[in-house]
Amino acid sequence: MTISGVALLAICTLLGGLLGDLLGVALGVKANVGGVGIAMMFLIAARLWLMRHGILSHGLKTGVEFWGSFYIPIVVAMAAQQNVVAAAKGGPVVVIAGIGAVAVCFAMVALIGRFSGRVETMDEIEAREAEALAAPVPHFKSGRIG
């Protein structure tokens, strides 16, 4: 049944590649646009559908997990390499745009951190909880008041 998992992954990859190519044509780009992401979404949806209907066998699950664990890092590395090559051919404008995007992200993180207020660290939370547990519990004697 492991071969069924590989077949499911192959079907999702082919469908994702086809839809990515069609999306590229629709956008006027001579490239596959989002085919890998679409394939992963198909694989996730197919796996969830199989689980809900009780069809997902152990072998099928193992095949999908095994090849999926290889598939994602390899495709991400390939996409990253292609983007770097395209950026290097694009000239200094692309490098300036990349540096600008990173600078804006850093600024936004600093801005969010400044306006979010003080956040307790995990050590402070644990210390506060330990103090609450160590505090003596008041005992009340039952009896008449008066």
Query: Does a structural domain hold residue 79?
Result: yes
Of the pLDDT bands very low, low, confident and very high (cuts 50, 70, 90), residue 18 is very high
- What distance in Å separates the CA atoms of residue 37 and residue 76, rounded to the nearest whole number? 10
Phi first, then psi, for residue 140 (nearest 5°) are: -110, 130
The answer to whether residue 73 scores a pLDDT higher than 70 is yes
Tell me the per-residue pLDDT of 23-64, one tens digit each, with 9 for 90 and over: 888 888 777 878 878 888 888 888 888 888 888 787 777 777
Domain shared by 58 and 10, yes or no:
yes
Tell me the per-residue pLDDT of 114-143, one tens digit each, with 9 for 90 and over: 887 777 777 888 888 888 877 776 666 655
Domain shared by 9 and 72, yes or no:
yes
Domain shared by 62 and 17, yes or no:
yes
Report whether 46 contacts 28 (CB < 8 A). Answer: no
Contacts of 8 (CB under 8 A, 6+ apart): 43, 46, 47, 60, 63, 64
pLDDT of residue 103: 93
Report whether 54 contacts 30 (CB < 8 A). Answer: no
Count of the separate structural domains present in the chain: 2
Domain that holds residue 43: 1-90
The answer to whether residue 145 scores a pLDDT higher than 70 is no
Report whether 12 contacts 44 (CB < 8 A). Answer: no
Alpha-carbon dihedral sign for residues 85, 87, 90, 96: negative
Of the pLDDT bands very low, low, confident and very high (cuts 50, 70, 90), residue 19 is very high
- What distance in Å separates the CA atoms of residue 83 and residue 95, rounded to the nearest whole number? 12
Domain shared by 70 and 123, yes or no:
no
Residue 39: Cβ within 10 Å count? 24
pTM of the model: 0.50
Structure tokens at 62: 């193992």
